């Protein structure tokens, strides 16, 4: 008798729920969810005179090749150590950064060569070969011009041209050329997606100064360097970046000039050489009063009238101070240096609120798509 009553009660509940669902469908309450008659609402958008549109099919944002996912988050931007001289241009403030993708290493010579070759093959008629070589081809003379009484001839002749340096970061590239590279890279990807019937990408670009610093810290709040605090060498005495150690022993870190783009260990987001090797162009125009003129949500100072552009990260020829995550300085947008390169980012609009609270987002993404493999020194 007890079993019979239980079955009867549950059967009655099922019938009642079904009746309610049918009633709601008859009144039009569920058409938008289930697509209406014929199940075409999600594709057509309007069914039986009612808006039944859901998300368009076929969209997903894959991790771009060679990039890692940087989570969103909030951090104290600015100097991570006492710096009296720069206090007025690098004051601490809390900012929030949305999720984005970033190249796990600096753009290499051979990667940049694809861009130059494409310009010479496709754009001579519009840009002219002279302009391409003057504005976008790497200036190899920087290896001599940047340093007085320096034997830069071997680097001038071989650094960009020889296969031995294919995986080394490209240098001698201005901010203008780096920005144009991002545009070409975007067009190349979008042309392919268009042929495949896919959606356009969100586009490659240079990172903002705030994005760069957030990524360089690798989730380590208040970190002086991308690997943490407070030293530039590990417990075995091995240097953790390519810079100017001691009083000028350039060879002590393993490389007298630049190192491969994937040398040393990555930070906790899977990014290589966010300190040292080559400094990196950022999108922002430089201003001493940046804190006063940018917002604290995705700060980005795009001022076309200011020729000074932010440079971050320090390089192979710099002392340790310039390797600090909070150190900021600048170079003029049309200048080309033997110690400045760049890397690209792409907005992550699909995960605009993505967070690393559940784990290392950058690290997990990198393992699937990175074009670099770690080389530790």
Encode 246-272: b = buried (16+ Cβ within 10 Å), e = exposed: eeeeeebbebebbbbbbbbbbbbbbbb
Which has the higher per-residue pLDDT, 363 or 67? 67
Whether 4 is covered by a domain: the verdict is: no
Whether 145 is covered by a domain: the verdict is: no
Q: What is the pLDDT of residue 292?
A: 76
Whether 280 is covered by a domain: the verdict is: yes
Q: Name, in order, each residue with C-beta under 8 angstroms of 52's C-beta and a sequence gap of 6 or more.
A: 31, 32, 35, 36, 41, 42, 44, 45, 46
For 348, the token pair is: 């992550």
Q: What is the mean pLDDT of residues 62-83?
A: 88
Whether 34 is covered by a domain: the verdict is: no
Q: What is the dihedral of CA 241, 247, 251, 255, to 10 degrees?
A: 30
- DSSP state string for 300-321: ----TT--EEEEES--TTS-GG
Angle made by CA atoms 204, 310, 284, in degrees to the nearest 5? 50
Whether 192 is covered by a domain: the verdict is: yes
User: What percentage of the chain has pLDDT greater than the value 90?
Assistant: 65
Encode 165-176: b = buried (16+ Cβ within 10 Å), e = exposed: bebbbbbbbbbb
User: Distance between CA 311 and CA 308 in Å, rounded?
Assistant: 9
Q: What is the mean pLDDT of residues 292-320?
A: 93
Q: What is the pLDDT of residue 28?
A: 47
> Is residue 157 over pLDDT 90?
yes
User: Distance between CA 314 and CA 298 in Å, rounded?
Assistant: 23
User: Distance between CA 296 and CA 187 in Å, rounded?
Assistant: 31
Which has the higher per-residue pLDDT, 356 or 285? 285
Number of domain units in the chain: 1
Closest CA relative to residue 198, chosen from 190, 210, 209: 190
pTM listed for this prediction:
0.82
Structural domain containing residue 263: 67-107+172-347
| Mean per-residue pLDDT of the chain | 84
Coil, helix or strand for 284?
Answer: strand
Strands of the chain (E only): list them.
46-47, 50-51, 67-70, 73-77, 93-97, 100-103, 204-205, 279-285, 308-312, 329-332, 340-341, 345-347
What are the tens digits of pLDDT across the range 88-129? 666 788 999 999 999 999 999 999 999 999 999 999 999 999
> Is residue 371 over pLDDT 80?
no
How far apart are the two ends of the chain, measured CA to CA in Å? 78
Whether 229 is covered by a domain: the verdict is: yes
CATH number at residue 198: 3.90.1580.10
User: Distance between CA 369 and CA 105 in Å, rounded?
Assistant: 13
What are the tens digits of pLDDT across the range 262-281? 999 999 999 999 999 999 99
User: Distance between CA 362 and CA 366 in Å, rounded?
Assistant: 6
User: Distance between CA 286 and CA 320 in Å, rounded?
Assistant: 22
Coil, helix or strand for 162?
Answer: coil
Coil, helix or strand for 90?
Answer: coil
Whether 115 is covered by a domain: the verdict is: no
Whether 85 is covered by a domain: the verdict is: yes
> Is residue 82 over pLDDT 70?
no
């Amino acid at each position: 008798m007890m079993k019979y009553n239980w079955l009867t009660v549950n059967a009655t509940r099922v019938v009642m729920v079904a009746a309610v669902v049918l009633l709601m469908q008859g009144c039009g309450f569920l058409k938008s969810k289930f697509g209406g008659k014929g199940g075409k609402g999600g594709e057509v958008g309007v069914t039986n005179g009612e808006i039944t549109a859901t998300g368009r099919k076929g969209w997903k944002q894959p991790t771009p090749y060679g990039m890692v996912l940087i989570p969103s988050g909030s951090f104290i931007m600015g100097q991570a150590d006492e710096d009296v001289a720069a206090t007025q241009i690098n004051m601490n403030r809390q900012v929030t950064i949305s999720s984005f993708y970033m190249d796990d290493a600096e753009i290499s010579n051979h990667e940049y060569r694809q861009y130059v070759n494409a310009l010479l093959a496709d754009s001579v008629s519009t840009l002219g070969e002279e302009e391409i070589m003057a504005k976008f081809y790497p200036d190899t003379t920087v290896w001599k011009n940047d340093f007085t009484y320096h034997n830069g001839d071997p680097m001038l002749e071989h650094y960009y041209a020889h296969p031995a340096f294919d995986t080394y970061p490209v240098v001698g590239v201005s901010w203008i050329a780096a920005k144009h590279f991002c545009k070409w890279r975007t067009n190349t990807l979008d042309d392919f997606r268009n042929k495949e019937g896919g959606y356009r990408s969100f586009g490659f670009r240079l990172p903002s100064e705030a994005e760069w610093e957030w990524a360089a810290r690798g989730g380590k709040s208040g970190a002086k360097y991308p690997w943490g605090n407070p030293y530039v060498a590990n417990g075995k005495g091995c240097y953790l970046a390519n810079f100017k150690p001691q009083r000028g022993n350039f060879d002590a870190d393993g490389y007298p000039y630049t190192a491969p783009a994937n040398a040393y260990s990555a930070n906790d987001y899977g990014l290589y050489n966010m300190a040292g090797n080559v400094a990196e162009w950022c999108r922002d125009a430089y201003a001493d009063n940046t804190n006063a003129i940018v917002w604290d949500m995705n700060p980005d100072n795009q001022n076309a009238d200011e020729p000074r552009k932010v440079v971050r990260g320090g390089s192979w020829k710099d002392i340790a101070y310039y390797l600090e995550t909070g150190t900021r300085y600048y170079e003029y947008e049309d200048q080309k240096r033997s110690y400045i390169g760049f890397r690209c980012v792409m907005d992550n609009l699909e995960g605009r609120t993505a967070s690393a609270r559940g784990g290392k987002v950058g690290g997990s993404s990198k393992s699937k798509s990175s074009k670099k493999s770690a080389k530790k020194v």
